[in-house]
Chains A and B, each alone.
Chain A
Amino acid sequence: MSVPILLVVTLAMFALGAASPFDPAARYLGDSVGNATTEDLERIRHNIGADQPFYVQWWNWLTHAVTGDLGDSLSQHQPVLAVISERLGWTLLLVTVAFVVTMALSLVTGALAAIRHGGWFDRAVTTLAYAFEAVPVFWLSLAMIWLFSLTLRWFPAGGVSDVRTGALSFGGVLSHLVMPAVALAVSQVPWFVLYVKQSVRTAMAEDYVVGARARGLRERTVLVGHVVRGALLPFITLVGSRFPELITGAVLVETTFSWPGVAAATTEAGVALDFPLLAALTTLATAVVLLGNLLADVVYAFADPRVVTG
């Protein structure tokens, strides 16, 4: 199911490219386009295959892509595959750390809010969650840079390496990682907290929990053994479906903090009209989203034997 969607999405991308005023030949020439004659442009178009219909271009791109050749990035001056392999690690590091923080924070606060439903903690968490859900992540990032980098000077404002020496060190990367990871986590936490709270509340009303209470089991045992376990499964299955939001957040956070990952490269590729890189990164992101959906289905089927994946 995922592969045809991916094929159609890439084809649609090339169709959009063909429908747009974007001229690969002019882009190829860059600033010297003013000196080029119409014949020059025609020749370049022919040489790079841009005079062919979009589906032929797509087919060429696809057949090269499966062998690992994604073309050359115009903005980074190296093969697209090299750009991605160089930067993917940074994005994975940032996203993984942010995700672990998100999970830990939302599970604990969400569960506590559900257990003490209606209390001051619950009300505070719920209000903050709604408020932070509306806060644009780029604004939050700017506020954090102002407070923690420029005013308090606790953490560096961007990049990953030491500003003066340009050296990469474990401690240096860690201190650079804190702010983007926290910003990305805070942008994801509200939705997860509200969801955890809801599913824990649902689980608490389930028969088996009420039954466990009635059997006189200790409150702690009931909560940890029954409620959290019951609420965790539907929660895990939804994680995969939140990948699009995570990717959107990563693009904005990486760009704001000049993090050298693939998500920031997307912005650079967009600004520089670097179609080969943009096409590859969009395909990559789509593949990740589809993988997330698949993961959600698989985990769901695994957790609930009644579901047959088709």
Chain B
Amino acid sequence: MKFWTSVSIVVVAVLAALVVPALADLDQRLVDLDLVLQPPSWQHLFGTDALGRDVLLRCVYGMRVSLLVGLAAGVCSSLIGTAAGALAGTWGGRVDQLVCRVIDGTSAVPQLLLGILLVALFRPSVTAVVVAVALTHWMVTARIVRVEVMSLRARPFVDAAISGGASRSWVLARHFLPNVFPHAALATTLMVPHAIWHESALSFLGLGLPPHLASLGTMMDDGRRALFSGAWWVSLAPGLFILIPTLAVSGLAGVLRDRVEHRRRSAELAW
């Protein structure tokens, strides 16, 4: 029940982000001064913004950008995290200690501050935001993958592979990485709403995506300015668009986590 609700919300959100822009072609720069800051009506369900654009339609566009940025950042952070965790878990010893120190160090810097620093230094752009989010979120995956690899390392099938002449990189590529993949994939799924949140927080602060690129965060920033003209609706829709998929993805992740755990438990019982 919970699973299917979550899945359908995520599917609808992704489909809307993909299909709607193709159907309703919105000129991002189109300004209609007759329609400036119109409150919600049947024509414009969530009203119009300071330049007379439909807030709902812009949100769908914005969500596409946010979703892409979130997905890219989530995948990048998982790749970094898996690489670091696998490195530490496979080699152990000094390499492990070094990776752990790097994880501790990076975790000690509050994520948003490191994000602000990175975006400020590299100037607001999609790449800067993706890099900033990836560099501040890889540690969770790294920790999970490291622990998983360490538990795999002690399994007799690894002994058997070593005895059969396998090198470290063979064991890493053929045994460790395929077996940690479900965990890394779950971490990625969990990371996407985080990354979307992070992108919108940075954009909201004026340190994320360039203002002309509609994302949920930049729209929220517009909404803050419109708020003082009494236009509460400009920030309403972007907020809902962040909130609802986030809830759906965390619901989905919860269900997936139960399944992965369950599968692992039953596998352990079988052994």
B-contact 0/1 string along A1-40, CB 8 Å cutoff: 0000110110011001100111000000000000000000
In the assembled complex, B108 has its CB within 8 A of some CB on chain A: yes
B-contact 0/1 string along A122-165, CB 8 Å cutoff: 00000000110011101100110110001000000100000000
In the assembled complex, B118 has its CB within 8 A of some CB on chain A: yes
Contact A251 B113 (CB under 8 A): yes
Closest residue on chain B to residue A246 by CB atoms: B110
In the assembled complex, A270 has its CB within 8 A of some CB on chain B: yes
Nearest CB on B from A222, distance (A): 32
Closest residue on chain B to residue A19 by CB atoms: B121
Contact A139 B239 (CB under 8 A): yes
A-contact 0/1 string along B92-131, CB 8 Å cutoff: 0000000001001101111111101111111100000000
The segment from A54-62, A106-114, A210-218, A277-285 found at the interface with B is A277-285
Contact B122 A20 (CB under 8 A): yes
List the A side residues contacting B110 at CB < 8 Å.
244, 247-248, 251, 285-286, 289
State the majority secondary structure of interface residues on B. Answer: helix
In the assembled complex, B242 has its CB within 8 A of some CB on chain A: yes
- How far, in angstroms, from A6 to B104 measured CA to CA in the complex? 11
- B235's partner among A142, A281, A289 (CB-CB below 8 A) is A142
List the B side residues contacting A6 at CB < 8 Å.
108
The segment from B23-31, B70-78, B170-178, B200-208 found at the interface with A is B200-208
List the B side residues contacting A293 at CB < 8 Å.
108
Closest residue on chain B to residue A264 by CB atoms: B205
- How far, in angstroms, from A12 to B117 measured CA to CA in the complex? 12
Contact B108 A5 (CB under 8 A): yes
User: CB within 8 Å of B: which of A266-310?
Assistant: 266-267, 269-271, 273, 275, 278, 281-282, 285-286, 289-290, 293
List the A side residues contacting B120 at CB < 8 Å.
22, 269-271, 273, 275, 278
Nearest CB on A from B129, distance (A): 13
